[in-house]
């Protein structure tokens, strides 16, 4: 098959690839985007059913402190006023998230910040020195009661490992507040793109050739020598044929169903924090958009062991995997004209705004090189 020449061959039609391709096309560069899956959007992909945007690969709420990123995404979509305020379900009791005065009142019946602080101070005394893992970090932030009910079961299900063996940074993603504020994020800007993320990505890719169902690592011979630069957003171990071994990921399984009722759970995200319940979250998609349809769509999110060939969701950033990643990254650094980007290629737990910012930065870097 004849393959035309391109300035940039971009592997992955997710947020990174789409932003990068858009920027380079705007600079007059010829881009070709290859996507292994049958459809564009990467893990932010949404699909419409009954007028409801389904988040195919888990809940995605755009949030950022970066006004440039916020302005940038507004060129491709309008955003609604959604604010993420999930609930945690433990033993049938509901608790507000993130950890804030509402949670403390529900847990202990306390009403003032001083009363809450006193409880947490007493419970955190068991952690001596700097927290060395997620368990110690959680107890030192919110105390043992909240750790046992709202963190331990959830985290161990999600990651398939004991909290004492997980890095502390994972739990520091969540705010802890001594105010009655249920906003899950501290970000200045937050919302969901009206019309869905797939439309946003499609707008970014407007006028750019995209081939879906093409796994670059399998079809490599066909494309070799036909492009100036390779932008790779896939898994780095796969790119190098797993020559040093496979990086570990955590998998997910989504079970999505249509329910003949208007409102199933009254909130977009309900976390199930008990160890015995096999799913971590139930997402009711219509609430991301304040939907009023007579039916609803609900997804149960199950954490899953991951093996090579499965979809990779979360990198396992423990010391062993980080060291292995660094070996691959060192190989990549030797390849001229290879640009890595996105959650998979960088082996990082990233939020969407960080991905957009890094794609813009990578595109700007190219301008300097040219």
Q: Which of 170, 210, 270, 339 binds ligand UDP (CB under 6 A)?
A: 170
CA distance 104 to 95: 9
| Min dist. Cβ of residue 369 to ligand UDP (A) | 33
CA distance 245 to 237: 7
DSSP state of 247: P
| Cβ atoms within 10 Å of 186's Cβ, excluding its own | 13
Toward ligand UDP, which CB reaches closer, 241 or 266? 266
Q: Which of 53, 85, 102, 155 binds ligand UDP (CB under 6 A)?
A: 155
Interaction residues for ligand UDP, span 234-293 (CB under 6 A): 271, 273
| Min dist. Cβ of residue 155 to ligand UDP (A) | 3
Binding mask of the shown chain, residues 288 to 327, with x at each position contacting ligand UDP by CB under 6 A:
----------------------------------------
| Cβ atoms within 10 Å of 350's Cβ, excluding its own | 19
Instruction: Specify whether the CB–CB gap between 200 and 356 falls below 8 A.
Output: no
| Min dist. Cβ of residue 86 to ligand UDP (A) | 7
Verify binding: residue 85, ligand UDP, rule CB under 6 A.
no
CA distance 150 to 1: 55
State how far the alpha carbon of 219 is from the alpha carbons of 3, 35, 215, 229, 245, in Å.
12, 11, 6, 16, 21
| Min dist. Cβ of residue 285 to ligand UDP (A) | 15
| Min dist. Cβ of residue 158 to ligand UDP (A) | 5
For residue 369, what are the contacts with CB-CB under 8 A and spacing of at least 6? none
Verify binding: residue 97, ligand UDP, rule CB under 6 A.
yes
Instruction: Specify whether the CB–CB gap between 81 and 288 falls below 8 A.
Output: no
Active site residues: 173, 177, 250, 281, 301, 349, 351
Verify binding: residue 139, ligand UDP, rule CB under 6 A.
no
CA distance 367 to 113: 51
Q: Which of 68, 74, 173, 307 binds ligand UDP (CB under 6 A)?
A: 173
Toward ligand UDP, which CB reaches closer, 23 or 284? 284
Instruction: Specify whether the CB–CB gap between 215 and 93 falls below 8 A.
Output: no
Verify binding: residue 182, ligand UDP, rule CB under 6 A.
no
Kindly determine how many residues on this chain lie close enough to bind ligand UDP according to the rule CB under 6 A. Answer: 13
List the beta bridge partners of residue 49: 52
Which parts of this chain interact with ligand UDP (CB under 6 A)? 88, 97, 150-151, 154-155, 158, 170-171, 173-174, 271, 273
């Amino acid at each position: 098959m004849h393959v035309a020449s391109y300035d940039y061959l971009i592997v992955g039609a997710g947020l990174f690839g789409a932003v990068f391709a858009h920027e380079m096309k705007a600079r007059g560069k010829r881009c070709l985007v290859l996507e292994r899956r049958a459809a564009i959007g990467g893990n932010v992909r949404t699909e419409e059913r009954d007028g409801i945007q389904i988040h195919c690969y888990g809940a995605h709420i755009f949030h950022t402190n970066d006004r440039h990123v916020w302005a940038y995404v507004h060129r491709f979509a309008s955003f609604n006023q959604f604010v993420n305020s999930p609930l945690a379900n433990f033993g049938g009791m509901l608790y507000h998230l993130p950890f804030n005065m509402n949670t403390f009142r529900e847990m202990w019946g306390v009403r003032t910040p001083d009363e809450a602080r006193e409880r947490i101070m007493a419970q955190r005394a068991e952690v001596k020195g700097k927290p060395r893992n997620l368990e110690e970090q959680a107890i030192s932030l919110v105390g043992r009661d909240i750790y046992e009910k709202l963190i331990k079961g959830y985290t161990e299900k999600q990651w398939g490992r004991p909290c004492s063996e997980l890095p502390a940074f994972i739990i520091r993603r969540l705010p802890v507040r001594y105010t009655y504020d249920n906003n899950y994020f501290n970000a200045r800007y937050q919302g969901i793109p009206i019309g869905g993320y797939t439309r946003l990505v499609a707008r970014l890719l407007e006028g750019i050739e995209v081939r879906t169902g093409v796994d670059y690592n399998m079809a490599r011979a066909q494309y070799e020598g036909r492009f100036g630069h390779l932008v790779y957003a896939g898994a780095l171990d796969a790119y190098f044929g797993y020559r040093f071994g496979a990086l570990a990921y955590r998998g997910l399984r989504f079970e999505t169903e249509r329910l003949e009722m208007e409102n199933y759970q009254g909130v977009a995200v309900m976390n199930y924090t008990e160890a015995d319940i096999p799913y971590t979250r139930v997402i009711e998609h219509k609430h991301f958009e304040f939907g009023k349809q007579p039916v609803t769509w609900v997804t149960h999110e199950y954490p899953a062991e991951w093996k090579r060939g499965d979809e990779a969701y979360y990198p396992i950033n423990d010391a062993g995997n980080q060291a292995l990643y660094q070996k691959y990254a060192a190989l990549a650094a030797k390849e001229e004209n290879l640009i890595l980007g996105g959650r998979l290629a960088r082996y990082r737990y990233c939020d969407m705004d960080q991905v957009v910012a890094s794609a813009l930065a990578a595109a700007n870097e190219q301008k300097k090189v040219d």
